[in-house]
Structure 1
């Protein structure tokens, strides 16, 4: 079965929320360039974050301009709900670092690996995965993306700053936990996305 596009019925607040999230994200990135000592990411691969985070937040809009607007079989209008979910992980991570939550709240890092990976995976599924996937295929797709993204993230952290920081002593245990939590977050995203799409696909 070929997935067919359906008119968007997303409320306007999703558009405003997605745009606000991007404005806040780029504002925090700009402030990190101007006042690096106050950014919360100094010594935590700040240069890599300043490059990767804007790319992560702009992947969907750039794809839409280059391809999706005229050829997407999933969306007739820009998927603001997916865009918001794909922007929030980068924004929340920057906010957490700005307020030093990763180093002062013991459970914050674990929670973020679970929640932010769920947001990111759900956004990717809503933006790019066909609506008519079965529950099993939706979950497998979510796990494939989520687990792979988690591995890439951990490799990036290791190369960028972990290997030369005091965190190296506990990096193995922390990395295993982060990978497990990210994968569980992706699993939850797959299940929720399938349930959220089910009425629409059956309509």
Structure 2
């Protein structure tokens, strides 16, 4: 049985949200696992499920008259699933570049989701590009501040936190810039008149 495109993305959306809940439950059931130590898992358990409500709430409040943005919903939840899966599989402790890759990829995904949500506003490609980069920079800064208060300030990681934070900010900005550039180019090509 083949799912229609709309049904397939709905299934993916729900599967990702279910996966996030299951992965977070692992941390609840097995809090003593090494991979969960010092990772602010309690904060993640309380806040990550909210990521699954961001797009539905935004759509309900601001875009209710338009079709539901399933693609944006999938792209918003994906970074939280990737991060939680990385913790559950102990990838942050076993693969040296995992954290760096996550900052680049996940900020690209979050920025793409944001740009998908604002796409109905029909902004120019230049506005999409700059808005996406600004969104990525602001959210990367906010994330690092929250990360500091959630677990870095009282952990052994404090000694290397400055260098790590700068690296995370640069990688997040690069990911959001790449996503903004791709989305803006795609939007620009869609808006060009057809040649005769």
Structure 2 contact 91–98 (Cα < 8 Å) conserved: yes
- Aligned residue for 2:96, secondary structure, equals coil
115-124 vs 192-201, greater mean Cα deviation: 192-201
Rounded to whole Å, the distance in 2 between the matches of 1:165 and 1:81 is: 37
Alignment-derived partner of residue 83 in structure 1:
73
Residue of structure 1 equivalent to 2:143? 153
- Report the aligned-residue RMSD: 2.1
Q: 106, 117, 120: which is aligned to 1:116?
A: 106
- TM-score, length-normalised on structure 1? 0.85
Equivalent positions of 1:37-186 (< 5 A) are 37-38=32-33, 40-70=35-65, 76-130=66-120, 132-186=122-176
Extract unaligned runs of 5+ from structure 1.
Answer: 1-8, 71-75
Q: Under a length normalisation based on structure 2, what TM-score does the superposition of the two structures give?
A: 0.88
CA shift, 1:166, in A, is 1.2
Query: Contact between 1:131 and 1:201, CA under 8 Å: does it hold in 2?
Result: no
Q: 1:103-141: per-residue Cα shift (whole Å, max 9, x none)?
A: 111111111100000001100110124453223211211
Provide the aligned length of Structure 1 versus Structure 2. Answer: 190
Structure 2 stretches of 5 or more lacking a match?
A: none
CA-to-aligned-CA distance 1:173-192 (integer Å, 9 cap, x gap): 11001000000100011111
Superposed structure 1 runs of 4+ greater than 4 Å apart? 199-203
Q: 1:64 to 1:131 in 2, by over 3 A?
A: closer
